[in-house]
Amino acid sequence: MVNIMQKIYAVCEKALQTGDLSKEEILLMLNCPDENSDIIFQTADIIRKKEVGDEVHLRGLIEFSNFCRKNCEYCGIRGKNKTIERYRLTEEQIVDTAVKSEKLGYRTVVMQSGEDPYFTASRIAEIVKVTKEKTDLAVTLSVGEFSYDDYKIMKDSGADRYLLRFETSSEELYKALHPDSDFRERLQCLQDLRALGYQVGSGFMVGLPGETMEILADNLLLLQKLDVDMAGIGPFIPNEDTSLAGENGGTLINALKAVAITRMLLRNAHIPATTAMGTLDPKGREMALQSGANVVMPNVTPQEYREMYLLYPNKICLTDDPAHCRGCITGKIHGIGRTVSKDHGHTLKHR
Ligand code: SAM
Ligand code: SF4
Ligand code: FES
């Protein structure tokens, strides 16, 4: 044990200087006994402060449709789930939500949905265009897989960023969990987005059934290889309405380790403290912010729709309205001695 901890201290010492860590070094940290993991979090926090500072960027998340043509095994809004009520905001409601978010002080909105056939690339492009005309917001899209040409239509309308998690780096596990998606096509989408000039966010869930520490280490290395502008990592939380209902979910500590190691590997990337972490522990997002994260994505979806975008149970903020969440999160950020950024929080990567 002493020996293992000495090795982990040495890796942390090295990480302060460079993000060039080997898979073995990553595995050492992932396998660090939970009760001794603070050194990993503290090291990531030092690197976070040096690389991206104390400011936390807020992105207002608009969940604008829970219709989805896909059936990812883990997801509560998968098309075949007949137990949930479906909703779709109108184009006007989406723009209106963005305008209100700007009034609440957000500088970025993230427009997210299932893969809803109603929302074609042209319709999404029109929403982005009008939002850009009416506000000075940065617009991030998170609406799934499209062709290069469709991504181009959305980019040309003014979209700045795109979030598309690869979910797992294991092609085999990806196949088992995605009956209607292909791992290589997902990676191609990420390449297309980058080629089109989007700031690209990707990431994965921690603790998917069948995930090993090896796969988790490979997930981290894939993020580094993709050199993403933003890395979104959250624990998998089993949903009762899916085939993975009885499975174990990911743990907060493993998700925190993944966030911390991501900070070590990707240095100045933006890393959110995700809603799923806040769901596992009331202090989950603060813990992530103190383990390498520098972004939070509070929900700005009108309150009446929130309960229908239930990817997993016990999701936080379901009964709160956007103004309440804005105040709540600011309090949490100040409570840990950090500040809320006033700028757009664009990528810090120089390409
Ligand atoms: N449909 C788009 C897509 O799949 O990229 C965007 C919306 S999707 C609901 C956003 C993310 O939710 C997914 O990338 C996935 O990682 C996460 N998610 C879905 N089900 C989850 C679960 N049960 N636990 C934790 N995260 C989940
Ligand atoms: Fe649809 Fe995205 Fe859920 Fe998959 S993860 S079922 S694409 S909303
Ligand atoms: Fe929504 Fe705290 S962020 S209630």
| CA distances (Å), origin 254, targets 49, 154, 211, 293 | 22, 35, 12, 14
**pLDDT of 84 higher than 70:** yes
Residue 320, ligand 3, Cβ within 6 A:
yes
How far is residue 308's CA from residue 311's CA, in Å, rounded to a whole number? 9
Residue 230, ligand 3, Cβ within 6 A:
no
Distance 72 CA to ligand 1 centre (A): 8
Distance 238 CA to ligand 2 centre (A): 14
Q: What are the b/e assignments for 136-174, b being 16+ CB within 10 Å? A: ebbbbbbbbbbeeebbbbbbebbbbbbbbbbbbbbeebb
- Coil, strand or helix: which one is 28? helix
Q: What is the pLDDT of residues 118-156, one digit of tens each?
A: 999 999 999 999 999 999 999 999 999 999 999 999 999
Q: What is the pLDDT of residues 276-333, one digit of tens each?
A: 999 999 999 999 999 999 999 999 999 999 999 999 999 999 999 999 999 999 999 9
Q: Which fold has domain 52-340?
A: TIM Barrel (3.20.20)
Neighbours of 87 (CB within 10 A): 16
Q: What is the pLDDT of residues 167-197, one digit of tens each?
A: 999 999 999 999 999 999 999 999 999 999 9
Distance 39 CA to ligand 1 centre (A): 30
Map tokens 């042209």 to a residue. 122
Helices (H), the chain: 2-17, 23-30, 38-52, 91-103, 121-134, 148-156, 171-177, 183-195, 213-226, 252-266, 275-280, 284-289, 303-306, 322-335
Residue 186, ligand 2, Cβ within 6 A:
no
